[in-house]
């Protein structure tokens, strides 16, 4: 098991990747309306929130949302799950789902349903922006850095689903050396492939394009 034993919830990128991504996003947020899904502690909101005419940060974690609210007082915050973000919030030029947030949509049907909802909230010409998840994670998988196992300190356990690109990272008391199959209570995550992302986008009525220099994918209404 790699020493990278989690999907970087607090700091999902190397500094250079984060800088490139935020540099690409910043001018595109100027004078635009932005919906930030899975905002966490406000990593993105702090950098581009002040440029937008409206910026709504959404998260289901009350602690993360409070941190975002404290560090980004000009940003609106909404406590809800990204799967059911209220359409009553209106339409947005940019819908962001950054970091590894989209990995939490491990069920493909659920991911397509979420994408359809987000697409319905796009303004004309708007776009959904995701991290280039396949570009970031699959090279590590191919190099053997995400195999089932226990971390050297025994504090983390990585378990893959049978016959699918879904995993769970158990930590602390959840580590179970006698269990190597996913079970109820595991927080599942999908390591999305490029093909799976394209299929999910297409099923949601969206086109998909990679922006390699920014490490993002953009989806628009097809």
Q: Answer yes or no: do 102 and 153 share one domain.
A: no
Give the integer Cα–Cα distance in Å for 215 and 113. Answer: 24
Strand 33-37 to strand 92-97: parallel, antiparallel, or no bridges (unpaired)?
Answer: parallel
pTM check: above 0.85 = yes
Q: Answer yes or no: do 59 and 159 share one domain.
A: no
**Per-residue model confidence as pLDDT tens digits over 133-156:** 899 888 888 888 889 999 999 999
Which residues share a beta bridge with 157? 150, 170
Q: Which domain range does residue 54 map to?
A: 15-133+193-221
Give a yes or no: residue 75 inside a domain: yes
Give a yes or no: residue 19 inside a domain: yes
Residue 199, domain CATH: 3.40.50.150
132: closest CA among 20, 212, 37? 212
Q: Residue 36 burial (CB < 10 Å; 0-12/13-18/19+)?
A: buried
**How far apart, in Å, do the first and last CA atoms of the chain sit?**
40
Q: Answer yes or no: do 73 and 111 share one domain.
A: yes
Query: Quick one: DSSP state of residue 161?
Result: P
* Spans in the chain with pLDDT lower than 70: 1-13
């Amino acid at each position: 098991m790699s020493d990278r034993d989690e999907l970087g919830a607090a700091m999902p990128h190397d500094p250079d990747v984060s800088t490139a991504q935020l540099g690409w996003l910043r001018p595109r947020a100027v004078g635009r309306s932005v919906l930030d899904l899975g905002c966490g502690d406000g990593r993105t909101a702090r950098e581009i929130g002040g440029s937008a005419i409206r910026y709504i940060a959404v998260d289901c974690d009350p602690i993360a949302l409070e941190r975002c609210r404290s560090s980004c007082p000009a940003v609106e915050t909404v406590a809800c799950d990204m799967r059911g973000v209220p359409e009553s919030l209106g339409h947005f030029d940019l819908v962001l789902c950054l970091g590894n947030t989209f990995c939490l949509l491990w069920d493909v049907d659920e991911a397509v349903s979420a994408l359809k909802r987000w697409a319905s909230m796009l303004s004309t010409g708007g776009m959904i922006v995701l991290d280039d998840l396949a570009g970031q994670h699959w090279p590590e998988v191919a190099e053997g850095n995400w195999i089932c196992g226990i971390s050297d300190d025994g504090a983390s356990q990585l378990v893959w689903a049978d016959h699918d690109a879904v995993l769970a990272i158990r930590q602390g008391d959840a580590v179970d050396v006698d269990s190597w199959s996913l079970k109820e209570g595991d927080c599942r995550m999908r390591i999305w492939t490029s093909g799976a992302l394209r299929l999910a986008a297409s099923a949601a009525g969206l086109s998909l394009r990679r922006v390699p220099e920014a490490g993002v994918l953009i989806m628009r209404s097809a």
